[in-house]
């Protein structure tokens, strides 16, 4: 009897296995005869996630490209992926054939940010939101924030004086304050920022947690904070509707003045989404800039000279000693430092897209549902695109890079709409930092941590002091 049971179970197992193989094979045959890109999917479920995030990502990407070429398959973060590393292929995915590759995020992150956020959509809704976001972040809109950003910079730097600080953590606070200013305006930030920050700090801790919504879990705490955050934003929206009819240059004003109207839920989801997009990335760039300037005194000298010349012009030319929008347009050397930092650090190593149908790509099949990752980091660190790519050399940007070789903010219809604001807040901070302060790096200088952005070890501890 036992032998008979085992025989039946074995037969059933092999029948199911054979049926699955036949179905898969016939399905693949119906789909296409094209091969998958070369590469390996690594271990079951975890794939090659550990290999990617346990070392310098340059090593992972370079070894793959050397072994398989500019297109290869892998498996990271629970997803089967095709990685592409040529500028032409990146342009095809992000621009030319972008309708075939939708933006995608883990489902847990979508729930935390909000399903109505701009990142998760294509088509008419995405186009409408992008237009509203861009309207709030045009140079004409953000130029009005220069003096307020400068006040935030001055207060931040003053609080860092004669202290050992974690640069990344302090920059996160700074960029959060600027983000709230640009989203809600100065008055609303003064009234509501503390509760809003408290909730967001809890929410962000769960971005990379397992989506287990049980009491006590990080995900559950984050979702509770997300609910409270939505309530805070609803009160802000309601208050603005009741108290004023005047136009605002901030993002909330752009959302609320849209003639077709957005629901409170749509506005809240997109506000949270913009905070998510604006905060850690810009803070990471600033952290790397502080490190690169400290390690390259000749570059720091050039930046300081440029900024001190602007300061002398303020002292001699007018009664207003504050930085102006026009002043920020007189910083070509500092701007090239930002560009080179974006290239070398490559804060976003890649971006996620998902094939919306089976796609033939350079003679290979990308199956529907597979992720497609343009490798910005690999493109930025290719000697074909940037000679001596590991060297920090801002002067290389005196000449415009070749098309599609420099994409720190992505490319196409899903590129970052807030890049002008990010550049502005970095320029304002560097102006005051280099003209008034000196700093020194503390601890290991060459270590890098990856969680999830590449950062200097321990968030780059520094000591900051006044020059005079």
Q: What is the mean pLDDT of residues 145-161?
A: 95
Residue 377: is its pLDDT beyond 70? Answer: yes
The DSSP H or E segment spanning 29 is helix 2-31
pLDDT in tens, 292-304: 999 999 999 999 9
What pLDDT, on the 0 to 100 scale, is given for residue 21? 38
What is residue 32's predicted lDDT score, i.e. its pLDDT?
52
DSSP state letters, 194-221: HHHHHHHHHHHTTTTS----STTSHHHH
Looking at residue 58, its pLDDT comes to 78
Residues sharing a CB contact under 8 Å with residue 142, sequence separation 6 or more, in sequence order: 182, 249, 420, 421, 424
User: What is the C-alpha separation between 79 and 73, in angstroms, rounded?
Assistant: 11
pLDDT band at 13 (very low <50, low <70, confident <90, very high): very low
At CA 329, angle to CA 401 and CA 139, rounded to 5?
90
Q: Choose between 51 and 441: higher pLDDT.
A: 441
Report how far apart, in Å, the C-alpha atoms of 57 and of each of 333, 385, 451 are: 28, 18, 12
Structure tokens given for 34 = 């094209």
Strands 353-355 and 454-456, by their bridges, are unpaired
Give the per-residue pLDDT at 7. 36
CATH class, domain 30-105+347-380, is alpha beta
Kindly report which listed range (160-164, 212-216, 404-408, 431-435) carries the lowest average pLDDT score.
Answer: 212-216
More reliable by pLDDT, 29 or 229: 229
Q: Where does the pLDDT of residue 224 fall: very low under 50, low under 70, confident under 90, or very high at 90 and above? A: very high
Q: Which residue has the higher pLDDT, 1 or 210?
A: 210
**Both tokens assigned to 444:** 């290991």
Nearest in space to 380 (alpha carbons), one of 364, 396, 368, 362: 396
User: Taking residues 385-396, what's their average pLDDT?
Assistant: 96
Phi, psi angles (nearest 5°) of residue 384: -70, -30
Q: Which pLDDT band holds residue 98 (cuts at 50, 70, 90)?
A: confident
Q: Give the pLDDT mean for 206-220.
A: 80
Closest by CA to 418, choosing from 261, 247, 208, 273, is 273
pLDDT tier, 319 (very low <50, low <70, confident <90, very high otherwise) = low
Q: Is the pLDDT score of 9 beyond 90?
A: no
pLDDT (average), residues 36-40: 93
- Environment class of residue 124 by beta-carbon count within 10 Å: exposed (0-12), middle (13-18) or buried (19+)? exposed
Q: What is the mean pLDDT of residues 237-244?
A: 80
Can you tell me the mean pLDDT for 204-220?
81
Residue with the larger pLDDT of the pair 223 and 9: 223
Listed in sequence order, the residues at least 6 apart from 159 whose beta carbon sits closer than 8 Å to its beta carbon are none
Q: For the chain, what is the mean pLDDT? A: 85
Average pLDDT over residues 383-412: 93
What's the burial of 81, exposed, middle or buried (CB within 10 Å: 0-12/13-18/19+)? buried
Tokens of 410: 């992505």
Residue 255: is its pLDDT beyond 50?
yes
Domain limits, the chain: 30-105+347-380
Q: Is residue 456 a contact partner of residue 437, using CB atoms and an 8 Å limit?
A: no
What pLDDT does 205 receive?
85
Q: What's the CA gap between 256 and 261, in Å, rounded?
A: 7
Supply the pLDDT for residue 56. 76
Alpha carbons 350 and 374: distance in angstroms, whole number = 6
Give yes or no for residue 15 having a pLDDT over 60: no
pLDDT at 351: 87
- Select from 432, 427, 384 the least CA-distant residue to 404: 384
pLDDT at 116 over 60: yes
pTM: 0.86
Pair of tokens at residue 239? 């208050």
CA distances from 133 to 148, 237, 246, 257, 277 (A): 20, 17, 19, 12, 12
The mean pLDDT of 384-404, rounded to a whole number, is: 95
Distance CA 338, CA 349 (A): 17
Q: Can you give the C-alpha Rg of the chain in angstroms?
A: 25
Beta strand pairing status for 79-84 and 371-374? Answer: parallel
User: For position 16, what pLDDT does the model report?
Assistant: 35
State the DSSP code for 181: H
Token digits of residue 195: 């509760």
Sorting pLDDT into bands at 50, 70 and 90, what band is 112? confident
Q: CA 182, CA 249: separation in Å to the nearest integer?
A: 8
């Amino acid at each position: 009897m036992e032998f008979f049971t085992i025989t039946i179970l074995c037969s059933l197992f092999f029948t199911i296995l054979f049926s699955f193989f036949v179905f898969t094979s016939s399905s693949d045959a119906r789909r296409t005869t094209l091969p998958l890109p070369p590469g390996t999917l690594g271990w079951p479920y975890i794939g090659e996630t550990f290999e990617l995030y346990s070392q310098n990502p340059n090593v992972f990407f370079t070894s793959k490209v050397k072994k398989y070429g500019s297109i290869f398959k892998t498996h990271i973060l629970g997803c089967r992926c095709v990685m592409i590393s040529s500028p032409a292929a990146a342009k095809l995915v992000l621009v030319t054939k972008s309708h075939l590759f939708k933006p995608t995020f883990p489902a847990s992150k979508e729930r935390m940010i909000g399903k109505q956020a701009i990142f998760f959509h294509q088509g008419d809704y995405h186009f409408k939101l992008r237009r509203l976001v861009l309207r709030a972040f045009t140079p004409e809109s953000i130029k009005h924030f220069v003096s307020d950003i400068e006040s935030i910079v001055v207060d931040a730097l003053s609080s860092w004086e004669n202290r050992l600080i974690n640069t990344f953590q302090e920059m996160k606070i700074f960029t959060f304050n600027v983000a709230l200013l640009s989203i809600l305006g100065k008055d609303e930030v003064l009234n509501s920022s503390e509760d809003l920050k408290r909730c967001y700090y809890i929410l962000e801790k769960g971005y990379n947690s397992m989506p287990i919504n049980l009491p006590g879990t990080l995900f559950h705490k984050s979702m509770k904070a997300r609910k409270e955050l939505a309530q805070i934003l609803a009160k802000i929206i309601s208050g603005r509707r009741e108290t004023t009819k005047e136009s605002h240059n901030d993002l909330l004003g752009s959302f609320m003045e849209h003639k077709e109207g957005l629901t409170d839920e749509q506005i809240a989801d997109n506000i949270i989404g913009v905070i998510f997009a604006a905060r850690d990335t810009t803070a990471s760039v600033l952290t790397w800039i502080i490190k690169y300037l400290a390690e390259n005194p000749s570059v720091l000298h050039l930046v300081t000279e440029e900024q001190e010349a602007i300061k002398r012009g303020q002292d001699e030319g007018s009664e207003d000693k504050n930085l102006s929008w026009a002043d920020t347009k007189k910083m070509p050397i500092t701007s090239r430092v930002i560009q080179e930092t974006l290239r070398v650090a490559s804060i976003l190593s890649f971006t996620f897209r998902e094939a919306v149908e089976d796609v033939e790509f350079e003679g290979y099949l990308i199956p529907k549902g597979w992720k497609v990752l343009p490798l910005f980091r690999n493109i930025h660190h290719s000697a074909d695109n940037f000679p001596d790519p590991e060297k920090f050399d801002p002067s290389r940007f005196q000449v415009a890079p070749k098309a599609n070789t420099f994409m720190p903010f992505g490319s196409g219809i899903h590129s970052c709409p807030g890049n002008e604001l990010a550049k502005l807040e970095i320029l304002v901070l560097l102006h005051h930092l280099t003209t008034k302060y000196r700093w020194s790096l503390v601890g290991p200088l060459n270590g890098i941590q990856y969680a999830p952005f590449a950062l200097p070890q321990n968030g780059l501890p520094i000591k900051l002091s006044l020059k005079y």
